[in-house]
Structure 1
Amino acid sequence: MTLCLIIDDMHPSLLPMLRSIGVEGDYQPKLLAADVPAALAARPYVGLMVRSKLRVTAELLTHGPQLRYVARAGAGIDNIDVDALAAAGVVLVNAPEGNRDAVGEFATGQLLALLRHSHRADAEVRRAEWHREANRGEELGTKTVGLLGYGHMGRAFARRLRGFGCTVLAHDNDPEVATDGNAELVPLAELHARAEV
């Protein structure tokens, strides 16, 4: 069994899953970020699993020269120095598509709640009030929605928005991003000019 230090909260199913592939997870979600260097130096960890508690830097890697991989439980890698990992020969593993559908659904729900004034309406109903005109809201299907970024999350959101009949515009800094038919890729200035939401 190889040893992996896990420093953030994870689902209970993770440890048995890791064991099934020959990895012993040392689960320490209460470990402070400041204490991770000493922990890496104390045991022969081959892996480090993180969420967002810790910045993974070149300096941190010096405390765990035996590391072979860093696993980011999630999509974002803003807290990980990818160049430092490459220079040290450490592989980065993440889940860029892992929560795309959950994010797409949540964003759609939040947009509906915003346009329909759901929070205010809920509070009024709980007080046995109803202000019909104030709570009328706006229909999502008539809107032109602008998305900044068209990666996995943006695409999942756009798919759901198209189901409501929205016009979806997207801007992405990556010139290689291709549209999937659910959004029109536009320059940032055009997105700002045309998007209603």
Structure 2
Amino acid sequence: MVCIRCQMVVRAELEKLGIQYSYVKIGEANILGDVHPEELVQLSVALKKSGLELMDDKKSILVEKIKNVIVELVHYTDDQIKVNLSDYLSEKLGYDYTYMANLFSEVKGITIEKFYLSHKIERVKELIVYDELNLTEISYKMHYSSVAHLSNQFKKITGLTPSHFKKLRNKRRDSLDNV
């Protein structure tokens, strides 16, 4: 659940089933009280129809939390983290980074760093398409050390320079769920 619409779907399904909750946020819902197993099955089926899934194993939940922290960091905040990504994730989630990195790679098939960079580049694409900021401003907003650094990473991941990408406005961006 990495977007606002996903949260709305989860809230609606919980309300349809009469399941009380205290909050629904990116990747997580806090259910109040006990939920009958039959209601969990109904919720699971309803969520699958919307492309979402109910998770109950701790490893999958941790991987989702890692993804959600990164998505929130890249797409929903302009703050620059004061420490490196590994320390930030460890601090935020309360797990050893090596454990999280190994688990993430095992489950997702890519490293946390590649996932993070993919999301940064998707955000850069979004900012380029919006055409409100120039590349220098985007570089600053996304906390790159220079436009050259942004351009090199952009080309490495997309195969295009940012300026060439801008010319190809019709190029579809990936949804956050597919990054």
TM tier, shorter chain?
under 0.3
Q: Which has the higher contact order (CA 8 A, sep 6+)?
A: 2
Which has the higher Rg, Structure 1 or Structure 2?
A: 1
Q: Which has the higher helix share?
A: 2
TM value normalised by structure 1: 0.26
TM value normalised by structure 2: 0.28
